[in-house]
Structure 1
């Protein structure tokens, strides 16, 4: 999920189980759609139900240790001050949730995630989205 704050920053979470920052995200459970998984993960990681307004990116992401994945990056739009105030990471899985400037991506995330986020940010918030391979646009979805 990508959420924005209206000042050009987007939300990242700091998981307790690995180094660095990540998008609010998770795996699809058996019988669950990618959209339902995105909604569930937002509630689990951020402690509140937030909007899902569109699809920014479908990314084929080969990983040397985990195999090939197909990742969906959904858009949550610009959050109101009230919605931002409701964000409450549980402290067990997610230590923090903060809005960051896209210019800091390379310092905060692995290169593969930074590519994916940049590509998703290029598609939105009102864009038609992209199909990417390893974070690089292979074709627009329009």
Structure 2
């Protein structure tokens, strides 16, 4: 079969983000300068880069923290109207120590602030599908079983 005979294939954008927690179980959200809403630390995967590597790179670029991330919690198929198909990976980054919180620096200027947010207030900080995705990731962390989601809805 030649390239011209191949059926069309999806070429989704791929992004990866991390969930950091505090001792009360709240998640760390960041406020990007270029978005209307809050988000989790992370960003797009570069060509040849794994989602885990991209997640760690983005954490260092955005927050100035060099850290490893743990288990994948959720992969979410979440196409966006102006961006096409997207696959979003969310990794468990564990709890930040007080020293790590103090070390957060907005290195690349993409972020304006950060805060911990309780799961029940996520809807006040971003779009509904982001809140669903984060809640699916929290549930996966609590159960110890990674999950698949579509538009933030775990299946």
What's the TM-score, normalizing by structure 1?
0.91
Contact map agreement 1:53 1:74 (CA 8 A) in 2: yes
SS in 2 for 1:76: strand
RMSD: 1.4
Give structure 1 regions of 4+ aligned residues with deviation exceeding 6 angstroms: none
Tell me the CA shift for residue 72 of structure 1: 0.4
Q: State the partner residue of 1:122.
A: 139
Alignment equivalent of 2:47, drawn from 15, 23, 30: 30
Say which SS state the counterpart of residue 36 (structure 2) adopts: coil
The alpha-carbon deviation at position 126 of structure 1 amounts to 6.0
- Number of the residue aligned with 2:84: 67
Structure 1 counterpart of 2:120: 103
Identify the match of residue 103 of structure 2 among 82, 86, 89. Answer: 86
Distance 2:86 2:60 in 1: 23
2, 25, 46: which is aligned to 1:8?
25
Among candidates 31, 34, 38, match of residue 21 of structure 1: 38
What is the CA distance between 1:50 and its match in structure 2?
2.3
C-alpha contact (below 8 Å) 2:43/2:58 kept by paired residues: yes
TM-score with structure 2 setting the length: 0.84
Computing the radius of gyration over CA atoms, which structure comes out larger, 1 or 2?
2
- In structure 1, runs of 5+ residues without a counterpart are none
State how far apart, in whole Å, the 2-side matches of 1:5 and 1:91 are: 24
Name the residue aligned to 2:94: 77
Match of 1:41 among 26, 38, 58: 58
The size of the alignment, in residue pairs, is: 138
